[in-house]
């Protein structure tokens, strides 16, 4: 009964996180005309550091661990993933960008086979290939309209996939709160360097300017939502397995569609929904195969 209650709690936390996460992207898209995506990305990590600092009192362990370089790489990857995704939101509808980004679970499966020597057979390879076809269906008409900006969510998915692989490696020995705090520290550091360079060189997506009061409030809200949602996901995975929770990632598309319609008057067309359906079905099949394999070997 305790295990059943824990799984139910984990599912509730995961669904709540996935429904709230598009709020981050909606704020970033709303600000895209007045605040650079680089500065929005920096703010996301800055507020994460502030909000998570009190939680560090509950953690233990040395700061300068042998894995510090991996923490730095992980923070850099999440920074670039966030920057690419926020940059894409200036050109793409909210739901389209998130749907394209959802090739990420498929990429993680490929990377896990490469780095962790996990078995991957023809059925999963076929499902992954089909998922990429779904992404191309969404990208193709958009690419004709906005050019290479349509590939920003793809770049974000690649960076985030490597971030997940490093997370899987580090979470075996590191406290989840420390993991998130280190990600904030190094993400903020990387973006500070990028903004310094971009501002002096006139790179538009990396130009810093002092935000207005309203902008600060929105950026703070973005940081709060990001911190709460990522903590919900971390604790959900402590209560239930990846096989149970991973399919709930696709709930995020529902939240994105609702916010896109209400705030930006955007609604995916029929072609986009076909691509979304293909990506979701491919991802669900991969999750099913992984859960079945885990049950067989467990």
- Provide DSSP, 14-56: HHHHHHHTHHHHHHHHHHTTTS-HHHHHHHHHHHHHHHHGGGG
Of residues 4 and 18, which shows the higher confidence score?
Answer: 18
Q: What is the mean pLDDT of residues 213-228?
A: 94
Contact 124, 289 (CB under 8 A): yes
The pLDDT value recorded for residue 141 is 63
Q: 3-class secondary structure for 94-133?
A: HHHHHHHHCCHHHHHHHHHHHHCCCCCCHHHHHHHHHHHH
The pLDDT value recorded for residue 170 is 82
How buried is 36 (Cβ within 10 angstroms: 0-12 exposed, 13-18 middle, 19+ buried)? Answer: buried
Contact 216, 31 (CB under 8 A): no
Of residues 119 and 17, which shows the higher confidence score?
Answer: 17
The pLDDT value recorded for residue 144 is 63
Contact 286, 112 (CB under 8 A): no
* Per-residue pLDDT tens over the stretch 105-118: 778 778 877 776 66
pTM listed for this prediction: 0.85
Q: Which two tokens stand for residue 177?
A: 């709160």
Tell me the three state secondary structure of residue 211. Answer: coil
Average pLDDT of the chain to the nearest whole number: 83
Q: Is the pLDDT of residue 241 over 70?
A: no
In this structure, what are the phi and psi dihedrals at residue 84, rounded to the nearest 5 degrees? Answer: -60, -45
Q: Which residues contact 232 (CB under 8 A, 6 or more apart)?
A: 13, 14, 16, 17
Q: Is the pLDDT of residue 297 over 60?
A: no
Given its phi and psi angles, is residue 112 left (phi above 0), alpha (psi -120 to 50 degrees) or beta?
alpha
Q: Is the pLDDT of residue 37 over 80?
A: yes
Q: Tokens 């705090």: give the residue.
A: 181
* Per-residue pLDDT tens over the stretch 244-274: 677 778 888 888 888 888 998 988 888 888 8
């Amino acid at each position: 009964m305790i295990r059943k209650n824990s799984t139910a709690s984990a599912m509730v936390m995961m669904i709540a996180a996935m429904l709230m996460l598009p709020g981050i992207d909606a704020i970033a898209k709303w600000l895209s005309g007045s605040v650079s995506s680089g500065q929005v990305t920096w703010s996301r990590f800055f507020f994460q550091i502030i909000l998570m600092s009190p939680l560090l009192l509950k953690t233990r362990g040395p700061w300068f661990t042998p894995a510090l370089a991996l923490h730095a790489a992980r923070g850099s990857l999440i920074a670039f993933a966030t920057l690419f995704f926020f940059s894409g939101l200036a050109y793409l509808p909210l739901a389209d960008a998130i749907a394209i980004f959802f090739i990420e679970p498929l990429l993680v499966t490929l990377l896990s086979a490469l780095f962790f020597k996990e078995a991957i057979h023809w059925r999963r390879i076929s499902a992954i290939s089909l998922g990429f076809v779904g992404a191309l269906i969404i990208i193709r008409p958009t690419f004709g309209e906005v050019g290479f900006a349509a590939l920003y969510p793809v770049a974000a998915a690649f960076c985030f996939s490597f971030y997940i692989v490093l997370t899987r490696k580090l979470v075996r020995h590191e406290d989840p709160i420390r993991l998130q705090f280190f990600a904030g520290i190094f993400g903020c550091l990387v973006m500070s360097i990028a903004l310094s360079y971009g501002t002096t060189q006139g790179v538009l997506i990396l130009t810093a300017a002092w935000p207005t009061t309203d902008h600060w409030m929105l950026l703070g809200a973005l940081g709060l939502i990001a911190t709460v949602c990522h903590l919900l996901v971390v604790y959900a995975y402590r209560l239930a397995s990846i096989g149970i929770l991973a399919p709930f990632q696709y709930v995020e598309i529902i939240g994105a569609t609702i916010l896109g319609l209400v705030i930006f008057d955007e609604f995916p067309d029929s072609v986009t929904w076909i691509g979304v359906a293909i990506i979701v079905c491919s991802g669900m099949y991969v999750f099913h195969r992984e859960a079945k394999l885990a049950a067989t070997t467990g």
